[in-house]
Structure 1
């Protein structure tokens, strides 16, 4: 077996970064201070990247340089090495962490330079399923009913055994109504649509078969990295709400009407890592015992077709 050393190096960098951020934010879980928890995760992740053996550039981050002092888009990090695109959500679910609610996590995707879509900060319509299905099974241009019908047929189950996930937002009311009429079960989540897409990659664990609806475009690219590693399917389309947003997308070379495929969002190999902060559908929470932090992490490396679940212990955390 041939080992791709880039994948191994990036996997270790991603794992260390998500675990450091998870520990930092978990110390503030349940205290109602979502901004402080987010800042703690950002600071810890940034410190981890600063000494990592790569030449990284943030392409999906906490905002533009004038909006975010840490991990801003365009920021360069690392001690030198592989030229790498960085996509991060240092704390996916800041409100969830603040209230110690389920499914807060930290997320990183790393690809070789040019390997991640530079997505403008606007809404993106998303549709995703996990691995094991014939290519082209789902299509963003089809109705929700047609997509779940195709999925149920492929799984050889009735529609009542399909579970869809959507953000609980008024803009999704028409999709929810249509899916309920079709007889599909729905999990509505308050925040964290990276997690919602991510859940489809391990439906046996999460109970989620398909993801629908709109959320942030940067989060869509992070989610696409997970789908790429898992061998699932995803399509998306940018949804500018103003002419200014549409013009910004065009200035980045994006066709706001185009249907984006997985190859558009993550054209090459990628490493995806996520660590649990609070307990959830895919992770155990960080817990502290005898001055040690115990962290539950998934690291997926498409360079080497490797998927790892890691339970780390950080001393004196």
Structure 2
């Protein structure tokens, strides 16, 4: 979004200049709304209900954001309000691509487990890779101090040795975060063989990549196979933070190959870096914790008010904002935020 602000010229006559505010500070309202709604469902085992309430709350909040967005990473099915191709924003501001996930880790919320977040990102129109839901990729991600040291086509041992060298530590000092999946058993064995430590998440691709990038989480590397749409969202965050991520399509069958080609992927062995997944230079990312995690606390509910913790990143300004917000139900309408029973 652009607005004209007058500033005095050398001759004393006001001249217009263009100001581009940080839309991330508006986007965080959408992640907060989704988190406040979904957090009430923590531990009730209803994944579909959690996704539905989070999606509804985010969609309603996005209607007040000043942008002319088009969702390129969204929800399924195609008829969903936040599906790919749907508009986002009030249609007044600048045109942009929108990638969103009202809940990254619906299973985590359903089971009352940590590290569930709500996330959204925007970038210039046409700059985000189109990644259909259901496509998977091999991934590796690190923070700024190990940028340029990873290669998704190389062995686990070589990658961890280079990361350790870049961070000026021993391989045995590194902690690798991975999702708890049978497909990762061989990778886990390789990590153990070189002496690095492992921490396991049951779900939460986006959170895992950000944990490997931020200081203070105790995580050095994210490794494994996960959703390609989540890789695009994670790349938006890492582009703002100066982290590094590489991924390559993980194709299990001929059907997967045909689906990839139908989606426009010609070179099925191509390696995608952050700048391939997010080609724009003005990227904004916002995330709000739903359940407690390593980099964001979950929603805390009180009598008629609640607390959320969020982070907002922007690549153009290089800013990282950490927001602790109190929400009073009497002053705002957040679907499900004050719900006491189902």
Alignment TM class, shorter chain as reference: over 0.9
**Any conservation in 2 of the 1:224–1:262 contact (CA below 8 Å)?**
yes
| Partner residue in 2 for 1:103 | 115
**Any conservation in 1 of the 2:304–2:328 contact (CA below 8 Å)?**
yes
Once the two structures are TM-superposed, the CA of residue 64 in structure 1 deviates from its matched residue by: 4.3
Q: Cα–Cα, structure 1 residues 5 and 282, in superposed 2: closer, same or farther, change >3 Å?
A: farther
1:278-299 CA-partner distances (Å, limit 9, x unpaired): 1111111111123112110000
**Any conservation in 1 of the 2:33–2:57 contact (CA below 8 Å)?**
yes
| Partner residue in 2 for 1:242 | 253
C-alpha distance in 1 between matches for 2:239 and 2:65: 24
Aligned with residue 123 of structure 1, among 118, 123, 136: 136
| Partner residue in 1 for 2:4 | none
Q: Cα–Cα, structure 1 residues 312 and 218, in superposed 2: closer, same or farther, change >3 Å?
A: same
**Any conservation in 2 of the 1:4–1:304 contact (CA below 8 Å)?**
no
**Any conservation in 1 of the 2:38–2:53 contact (CA below 8 Å)?**
yes
| Partner residue in 1 for 2:158 | 146
C-alpha distance in 2 between matches for 1:166 and 1:295: 26
1:1-317 matched pairs, under 5 angstroms: 5-6=19-20, 8=22, 10-66=23-79, 69-80=80-91, 81-121=93-133, 122-133=135-146, 135-202=147-214, 204-254=215-265, 255-268=267-280, 269-316=282-329, 317=337
1:142-168 CA-partner distances (Å, limit 9, x unpaired): 101011111111222121110001111
1:10-61 CA-partner distances (Å, limit 9, x unpaired): 2123211110100010111122222111111100000111232111111001
What RMSD, in angstroms, separates the aligned Cα atoms of the two structures? 1.6
C-alpha distance in 2 between matches for 1:109 and 1:29: 24
Structure 2: stretches of 5+ with no match in the other structure: 1-16, 330-336, 338-342
**Any conservation in 1 of the 2:27–2:65 contact (CA below 8 Å)?**
no
The TM-score normalised by the length of structure 1 is: 0.93
Once the two structures are TM-superposed, the CA of residue 137 in structure 1 deviates from its matched residue by: 1.0
C-alpha distance in 1 between matches for 2:235 and 2:155: 21
Which of the pair is proportionally richer in helix? 1
Q: Cα–Cα, structure 1 residues 305 and 14, in superposed 2: closer, same or farther, change >3 Å?
A: same
**Any conservation in 2 of the 1:115–1:270 contact (CA below 8 Å)?**
no
**Any conservation in 1 of the 2:136–2:251 contact (CA below 8 Å)?**
yes
C-alpha distance in 2 between matches for 1:178 and 1:72: 38
Aligned length: 310
C-alpha distance in 1 between matches for 2:21 and 2:141: 24
1:72-92 CA-partner distances (Å, limit 9, x unpaired): 011112212211111111011
1:152-205 CA-partner distances (Å, limit 9, x unpaired): 112221211100011111111111111101000001111111111110111x32
Q: Cα–Cα, structure 1 residues 4 and 261, in superposed 2: closer, same or farther, change >3 Å?
A: farther
Q: Cα–Cα, structure 1 residues 93 and 4, in superposed 2: closer, same or farther, change >3 Å?
A: farther
The SS at the match of 2:212 is helix
Once the two structures are TM-superposed, the CA of residue 7 in structure 1 deviates from its matched residue by: 5.2
C-alpha distance in 2 between matches for 1:95 and 1:252: 28
C-alpha distance in 2 between matches for 1:47 and 1:284: 24
Q: Cα–Cα, structure 1 residues 94 and 208, in superposed 2: closer, same or farther, change >3 Å?
A: same
**Any conservation in 2 of the 1:225–1:270 contact (CA below 8 Å)?**
yes
C-alpha distance in 1 between matches for 2:279 and 2:313: 16
C-alpha distance in 1 between matches for 2:326 and 2:36: 11
